[in-house]
Structure 1
Amino acid sequence: MSWFFLCVGLLVAGYFIYGAFVEKVFGINPKRQTPAFAQTDGVDYVPMSKGRVYLIQLLNIAGVGPIFGPILGALYGPAAMLWIVIGCIFAGAVHDYFSGMLSVRNGGQSIPNLTGKYLGKGAKHFMNAFAIILLLLVGVVFISAPAGLLAKLTGWSMPVFVGIIFCYYLLATIVPVDKIIGRLYPFFGALLVFMSVGLTVALIVSSEHTLLPGVQASDFLSNLNPNDMPLWPALFITIACGAISGFHATQSPLMARCMENESNGRFVFYGAMIGEGIIALIWCAIALSFFGGVEGLNEGMAGNPANVVYEASTGLLGVVGGFMAVLGVIVLPITSGDTAFRSARLILSEFFKLPQNELPKRLILALPLFALGGILTQVDFGIIWRYFGVANQATAVLMLWTASAYLLRHNKLHWICTVPAMFMTTVVISFLLSSATLGAGLPMMVSTVAGIVVTLVVTGLIIVKSKGKGVDNLAEDA
């Protein structure tokens, strides 16, 4: 039990200590007018309070990733919890903070435009395509997962719930951000709190289950996977959102358009990622505890993490409490899926330079996105999830390099972004080269060495290119 609370305590300490350090390196300006006021349009640029923006940001980023990912990651043992803590503090929360604050400094622009500004036009075009693909995958994953859980709860047909969720997503994508998202999220947030706190307390007081039974310090550095799956680099792809997620870079600009003051940035962006890390820790601990370890988890999961969610929720909280907890899990992907399509619409609007203050113009971009999303729902969920994981972490890599280039140009401590960027670049390249299903299927040693070499080359190029440009023509984001 003490291991779990130690991990939670480290995340909270990370927010106050390292989060404050990251904020100091960035250099906030509380007197600077934010896009919420400078570009108010009543649709996407709408000033909202600090607490409201934080809650929306948390629900935007916390889809099924910090639940399904940690459950799948738990098959490796407590090492998954160690990565959640370290990754969240030093990579994920830093990634989220800069994706949000750079957007604030650049008029609420989306990630492709930010990447283009700091890494060049080639990177911008690549990120435009990559971000749209990722957001479509996210939207589809976050339709299929909640629809499946709702079908399991009610006994209704899954396609019925797919249709209902699709209709909600379309509505939430085109109406002003404060009309649906801003009003429903407080209720959804209450469900999220009930799910997180309720399951943790129930597990602690349970007479049948022990929180992290038999875990030793050495287990945090061991691979306990019962299927003999290699920990490197798969664990860092599997836990796609609980430690670091490129999807968040597409979401942070939504709240960058609504934040009232730069001083709120650490709480909203860094803090929301810490909140997601705690959710990930809860589900990782539940997965390891409810089934008595990795062997029981592997059997109980039966290849689908949704089975763990359902069995653990009803087993710990009973029928009624379990129903409420599963609803809380269902809410997470729904509150990320709606903003995934909204983000895709805004990225396309920036690319085509199409103002979004009129409803017909929003529909012109939204309807094709939903048509493509509907087609992708027919693809097997497992295939979609694998591609989502890789695309997600590759997007995180590009965002971290974007932030690193920004800090280099302004002669600030770029290593807070460069080091996690180097690590995640190595992870993604090594995974793609070693994976037999998604990549080249090369031996792990060859793939890892190649990943390190590519990372060093990329690091050198970005440092030389960014330092050479200096701070000329960048006064507006200083």
Structure 2
Amino acid sequence: MQWFLLGVALLIGGYFIYGKIIERIFGIRPERRTPAIANNDGVDYVPMSTGKVYLVQLLNIAGLGPIFGPILGALYGPVALLWIVFGCVFAGAVHDYFSGMLSVRAGGASVPTVVGRELGSVARHFMNGFAVLLLLLVGVVFVLGPAKLLGNLSGTAVPVWVAVIFGYYLVATVVPVDKIIGRFYPLFGALLVFMSVGLLVGLAVSDKPFYATGITLDNLHPNDLPLWPLLFITIACGALSGFHATQSPLMARCMENENNGRFVFYGAMIGEGVIALIWATLGMSFYDSPDALNATLANGGPAAVVNDVATSLLGATGGILAILGVVVLPITSGDTSFRAARLILSDFLKFDQKPVAKRLMVALPLFAVGFLVSQMDFNLIWRYFGWANQMTAVIMLWAAAAWLKRHDKFHWVCTVPATFMTGVVNAYLLSAEIGFGLPLSLAGPIGITSSVVVLAWLLRRGRRDKDELDAPAIAAEQA
């Protein structure tokens, strides 16, 4: 128990200490009008209270990732806890803060626009397509995951729940942000807190020991899968997730003051880190060994683990409430995934999103493609999601590093995690079955070399002359 509490303490301490450092490096301007105030349109740009924006941000980013990922990561043993804690503080929360605050400074722009301003038009066009692809994968994953959980819970066929969830997503994607998301997400947040705290208390009062294998940094994976790069892809949400870069602009359009950025963006990621820490701990403690956990995963995947843990620790009624809490997470991220995809495409197509008809013109084709993708194998979709997720994080971190360097600020807070994760995603793509299938002995050095090359490019790039930025970008940034 003391190791879990130490992890939570480090996460909270990271918020108050490192989060404050990040805020000072960025340089907030509380007197500056935020996009929610300057561009209020009653649909996507809507001022909301700080507490509400925080809860919505937390529920937007905390999908199945901080549950399913840490459960799979628990197979590696307690070493996974280090990545959750230190990855969250020094990489994930930094990534989320800059993706949110750079969007605020760019008038609420989506991630492709933010990336394009710092890394060029080629990067912007690439991110337009890549971000929509990621959001479609996320949306589909966050349909199938909760549909399976609800199917197991109710006995109703999974395709029925898929249809119900898709229908809800369509409505939530096109209505004003404060009508469903802003109104009901705080209630869902209470259910999320019950689920997280309730399961932890249930574990504490049970006869299950915390960390059945003991505290060790050895790789305990039953299939001898390597820690690097797989652990850093397996556990994304809860440590570092590029999906968050697509979600932060949604709340950048609702935040009332730049003073709130650390709490909303950095703080929500710390909250997700705590959720990930809980589920990694449950995975390592509920089962006697990684082999026992692996056997359950082989029979029913992470959803089976959630069902086992919730019903065993909290009983039938409590287990149902806990499972519903787990269902809430992906559903409250899936709807905003499609919403973010709509906004990115509408920005690219220059479609005014105030008329409902224009929103539907963008949303309906997205849902049609999403439905087709949902017919693919879930495990295959999850693997592609894992890589695409971290690749998005890498690009956003490099964009943030470039922004800091251009403004003569301490860019290393973004450059170091960007360099590390560049090696991870490239080594993974080169070695994975969904990629090029190279042996890790070859893929690893190539991945590391690629990260050094990108680092050298950033360092040699020098401070970009502000004349390289177009006049509207300068005006938006200095307004």
The reply to whether residue 170 of structure 1 matches residue 195 of structure 2 is no
Pairing 1:149-188 to 2, within 5 Å after superposition: 149-188=149-188
Separation (CA, whole Å) in 2 of partners of 1:468 and 1:25: 18
Aligned to 1:212: 211
Pairing 1:393-472 to 2, within 5 Å after superposition: 393-435=390-432, 437-469=433-465
**Counterpart contact for 1:410–1:470, Cα < 8 Å:** no
Aligned to 1:263: 259
Report the aligned-residue RMSD: 1.2
1:354 is paired with a residue whose SS is coil
Given the alignment, which residue of 322, 326, 331 partners 2:328?
Answer: 331
Structure 1 residue 26: deviation in Å? 0.1
Separation (CA, whole Å) in 2 of partners of 1:349 and 1:266: 28
List per-residue Cα deviations over 1:122-151 (Å, max 9, x = no partner).
000110110000000000000000000000
Structure 1 residue 439: deviation in Å? 1.6
Aligned to 1:371: 368
Pairing 1:57-72 to 2, within 5 Å after superposition: 57-72=57-72
Structure 1 residue 466: deviation in Å? 5.0
Aligned to 2:280: 284
- Identical aligned residues as a percent: 63
Structure 1 residue 300: deviation in Å? 2.4
List per-residue Cα deviations over 1:30-50 (Å, max 9, x = no partner).
110000000000000000000
For 1:284, give the aligned amino acid: A
**Counterpart contact for 2:111–2:246, Cα < 8 Å:** yes
Aligned to 2:48: 48
Separation (CA, whole Å) in 2 of partners of 1:122 and 1:293: 48
Given the alignment, which residue of 295, 309, 312 partners 2:309?
Answer: 312
Aligned to 1:249: 245
Aligned to 1:229: 225
**Counterpart contact for 2:107–2:476, Cα < 8 Å:** no
**Counterpart contact for 2:41–2:354, Cα < 8 Å:** yes
Structure 1 residue 471: deviation in Å? 7.7
2:332 is paired with a residue whose SS is helix
Separation (CA, whole Å) in 2 of partners of 1:375 and 1:460: 41
1:302 is paired with a residue whose SS is helix
The reply to whether residue 80 of structure 1 matches residue 76 of structure 2 is no
The reply to whether residue 126 of structure 1 matches residue 126 of structure 2 is yes
List per-residue Cα deviations over 1:294-352 (Å, max 9, x = no partner).
12211222250111100000000000000000000000000000000000000001101
- Are the structure 2 counterparts of residues 24 and 382 from structure 1 closer, same or farther at C-alpha, using a change threshold of 3 Å? same
Given the alignment, which residue of 379, 382, 389 partners 1:382?
Answer: 379
Structure 1 residue 470: deviation in Å? 5.4
Separation (CA, whole Å) in 2 of partners of 1:90 and 1:5: 19
- Are the structure 2 counterparts of residues 169 and 383 from structure 1 closer, same or farther at C-alpha, using a change threshold of 3 Å? same
The reply to whether residue 355 of structure 1 matches residue 355 of structure 2 is no
Structure 1 residue 464: deviation in Å? 2.6
| Structure 1 length-normalised TM | 0.97
**Counterpart contact for 2:238–2:273, Cα < 8 Å:** yes
2:107 is paired with a residue whose SS is coil
Separation (CA, whole Å) in 2 of partners of 1:129 and 1:365: 14
Structure 1 residue 152: deviation in Å? 0.1
List per-residue Cα deviations over 1:435-458 (Å, max 9, x = no partner).
1x1122222122111111111111
Separation (CA, whole Å) in 1 of partners of 2:119 and 2:441: 30
Aligned to 1:38: 38
**Counterpart contact for 1:291–1:300, Cα < 8 Å:** no
Pairing 1:109-124 to 2, within 5 Å after superposition: 109-124=109-124
Separation (CA, whole Å) in 2 of partners of 1:132 and 1:427: 22
Matched residue pairs, number? 473
Aligned to 1:139: 139
Q: Name which of structure 1's ranges 24-33 and 223-232 shifts more when overlaid on structure 2.
A: 223-232
Separation (CA, whole Å) in 1 of partners of 2:71 and 2:357: 42
Given the alignment, which residue of 264, 270, 276 partners 1:274?
Answer: 270
For 1:210, give the aligned amino acid: P
Aligned to 1:299: 295
Q: Name which of structure 1's ranges 299-308 and 24-33 shifts more when overlaid on structure 2.
A: 299-308
Separation (CA, whole Å) in 2 of partners of 1:130 and 1:46: 27
| Structure 2 length-normalised TM | 0.97
Structure 1 residue 476: deviation in Å? 4.3
Separation (CA, whole Å) in 1 of partners of 2:198 and 2:246: 30
Separation (CA, whole Å) in 2 of partners of 1:152 and 1:466: 56
Separation (CA, whole Å) in 1 of partners of 2:234 and 2:48: 34
The reply to whether residue 340 of structure 1 matches residue 334 of structure 2 is no
Separation (CA, whole Å) in 1 of partners of 2:460 and 2:350: 32
**Counterpart contact for 1:4–1:212, Cα < 8 Å:** no
For 2:137, give the aligned amino acid: L
Aligned to 2:105: 105
